[in-house]
């Protein structure tokens, strides 16, 4: 397989190094870079047309990130008959319908395993499992930065702002950390995961989403006293023809897989009908780990060309967050209560109270037996 590589940053340069270190049948023949690259032994161009018009390139690996210019470049690549591999959750989650339709029309593969889970082979495992089983639900701790901040609040007894500064000083949170901290990054990963599991297009705007920004040190002590740890959780469940889908803080019992995932690690789980949970955990980010997943996608395509994980998407998912009740912890100012409500009502209640000058916190209370078929 001959690859045109777009972007030579953390993941792009690691991907290039991996292809040079060992011959796995995947060769980078051209790189799109706006900088001069001195340490590479292939052609470098600043013009995407040099890559998409090259008949020797069969696959484009997009590792620029964001929507612009990644979306235009990926569309150009597909329209010129190139397979596409990307780690870009923003691009795939916000443009699922268009990119799926294009990959069908031009009969090329589109894979994005590293976009949800970094180095964890979550989407490929989920895709395989959902081919054989009906998936009831999936969820996970999908954002390493938030998990690092929460872990730091616990281990070093830091308030949220200081834990965030620590993450930024270590390069684990961006200067603008809003996508991680407010839950949008996890929301995109949840949408991608749901698309692969349920073969529908999930609109990120339908996912009730909020982040870890309201968690205070006292909340972690309160959770401790109940025998739980606070994590940031993304969850999607099928109920008949509708889906419940939300992202928010959640309390997990100390003994659960989620409670023990610390630092930048992630954990992803799915539950088939009539069976227990299956989980995968590991580094959800990092140049080399993520690049390994990108390389594995390329190798998969060279062995067996599947357009979209072999899935056929059947329209937009109908999300109804008012159907099923869950158990929640809410803090209004300093006072804690537990209550049962649908996610739609619980988020409403949280938003009403959030305007209060002492703030509010809403957290799902995860008790696994509540998630029975």
Ligand X SMILES: NC(=O)c1ccc[n+]([C@@H]2O[C@H](COP(=O)([O-])OP(=O)(O)OC[C@H]3O[C@@H](n4cnc5c(N)ncnc54)[C@H](OP(=O)(O)O)[C@@H]3O)[C@@H](O)[C@H]2O)c1
Taking CB under 6 A as the rule, which mask of x and - marks residues 113-142 in contact with ligand X?
-x---x------------------------
Q: Does 345 bind ligand X (CB under 6 A)?
A: no
- What are the residue ranges of helices labelled H in 42-95? 48-52, 70-79, 89-94
Q: Does 12 bind ligand X (CB under 6 A)?
A: yes
Q: Where are the beta strands (DSSP E) in the chain?
A: 2-6, 27-32, 43-45, 59-62, 83-86, 110-111, 135-141, 208-209, 228-239, 242-253, 265-272, 278-283, 326-332, 335-341, 360-365
Is residue 189 part of the annotated active site? The answer reads yes
Q: Does 296 bind ligand X (CB under 6 A)?
A: no
* Minimum CB distance to ligand X, residue 55 (Å): 22
| CB nearer ligand X, residue 51 or residue 360 | 51
Q: Does 7 bind ligand X (CB under 6 A)?
A: yes
C-alpha to C-alpha distance for 113 and 307, rounded to whole angstroms: 13
| CB nearer ligand X, residue 65 or residue 249 | 65
Q: Does 64 bind ligand X (CB under 6 A)?
A: yes
* Minimum CB distance to ligand X, residue 169 (Å): 17
* Minimum CB distance to ligand X, residue 66 (Å): 7
Catalytic residue, from 82, 189, 222, 311: name it.
189
Chain positions 35 to 54 lying near ligand X, rule: CB under 6 A, are 35
Residue from 257, 143, 286, 114 nearest 211 by CA: 143
Q: Does 329 bind ligand X (CB under 6 A)?
A: no
Q: Who contacts 369 (Cβ-Cβ below 8 Å, separation ≥6)? A: none
Q: Does 63 bind ligand X (CB under 6 A)?
A: yes
Secondary structure class of 91 (helix, strand, coil):
helix
Q: Does 355 bind ligand X (CB under 6 A)?
A: no
Among 1, 5, 8, 74, binds ligand X (CB under 6 A): 8
| CB nearer ligand X, residue 193 or residue 244 | 193
The phi-psi region of residue 341 (left if phi > 0; otherwise alpha if psi is between -120 and 50; otherwise beta) is beta
* Minimum CB distance to ligand X, residue 332 (Å): 36
Taking CB under 6 A as the rule, which mask of x and - marks residues 88-117 in contact with ligand X?
xx------------------------x---
Backbone torsions φ then ψ of 173, nearest 5 degrees: -130, 145
Residue from 349, 371, 343 nearest 361 by CA: 349
CB atoms within 10 A of CB 124: 18
By CB under 6 A, the count of residues binding ligand X is 23
Among 19, 30, 33, 209, binds ligand X (CB under 6 A): 33
Stretch that binds ligand X, among 3-11, 127-135, 157-165, 198-206 (CB under 6 A): 3-11
Handedness of CA 34, 36, 41, 43 (dihedral sign): positive
C-alpha to C-alpha distance for 163 and 180, rounded to whole angstroms: 13
Q: Does 333 bind ligand X (CB under 6 A)?
A: no
3 state SS for 173-230:
CCCCCHHHHCCHHHHHHHHHHHHHHHCCECCHHHCEECCCCCCCHHHHHHHHHHCEEE
C-alpha to C-alpha distance for 205 and 227, rounded to whole angstroms: 33
Stretch that binds ligand X, among 82-90, 128-136, 248-256, 333-341 (CB under 6 A): 82-90
* Minimum CB distance to ligand X, residue 256 (Å): 25
212, 325 in Cβ contact below 8 A?
A: no
Stretch that binds ligand X, among 63-71, 102-110, 175-183, 242-250 (CB under 6 A): 63-71
| CB nearer ligand X, residue 7 or residue 249 | 7
The residues that touch ligand X, with contacts defined as CB under 6 A, are 7-12, 32-35, 63-65, 69, 87-89, 114, 118, 285-287, 290
The catalytic residues are 189
């Amino acid at each position: 397989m001959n690859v045109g590589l777009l972007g030579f940053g953390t993941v792009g340069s690691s991907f290039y190094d991996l292809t040079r270190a060992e011959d796995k049948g995947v060769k980078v023949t051209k790189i799109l870079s706006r900088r001069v690259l001195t340490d590479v032994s292939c052609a470098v161009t600043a013009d995407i047309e040099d890559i998409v018009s090259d008949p020797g390139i069969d696959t484009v690996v997009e590792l620029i990130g964001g929507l612009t210019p990644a979306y235009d470049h990926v569309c150009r690549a597909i329209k010129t008959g190139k397979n596409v591999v990307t780690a870009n959750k923003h691009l795939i989650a916000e443009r699922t319908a268009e990119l799926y339709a294009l990959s069908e029309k031009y009969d090329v593969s589109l894979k994005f395993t590293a976009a949800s889970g970094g180095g964890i082979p979550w989407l490929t495992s989920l895709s395989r499992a959902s081919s054989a089983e009906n998936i009831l639900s999936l969820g996970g701790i999908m954002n390493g930065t938030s998990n690092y901040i929460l872990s730091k609040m616990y281990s070093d007894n830091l308030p949220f702002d200081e834990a965030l500064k620590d993450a930024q000083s270590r390069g684990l949170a961006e200067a603008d950390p809003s996508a991680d901290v407010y839950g949008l990054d996890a929301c995109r990963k949840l949408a991608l995961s749901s698309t692969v599991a349920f073969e529908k297009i999930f609109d990120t705007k339908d996912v009730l989403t909020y982040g870890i920004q309201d968690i205070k040190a006292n909340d972690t002590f309160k959770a401790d006293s109940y025998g739980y740890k606070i994590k940031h959780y993304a969850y999607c469940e099928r109920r008949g023809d509708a889906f419940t889908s939300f992202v928010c803080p959640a309390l997990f019992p100390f003994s659960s897989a989620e409670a023990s995932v610390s630092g930048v690690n992630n954990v992803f789980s799915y539950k088939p009908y009539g069976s227990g949970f299956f989980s995968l955990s590991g580094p959800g980010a990092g140049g080399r780990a993520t690049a390994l997943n990108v390389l594995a996608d390329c190798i998969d395509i060279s062995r067996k060309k599947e357009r979209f994980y072999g899935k056929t998407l059947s329209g937009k998912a109908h999300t109804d967050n008012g159907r099923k009740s869950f158990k929640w912890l809410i803090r209004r100012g300093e006072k804690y209560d537990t209550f049962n409500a649908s996610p739609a009502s619980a988020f409403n209640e949280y938003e009403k109270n959030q305007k209060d000058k002492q703030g509010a916190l809403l957290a799902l209370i995860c008790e696994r037996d509540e998630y029975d078929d």
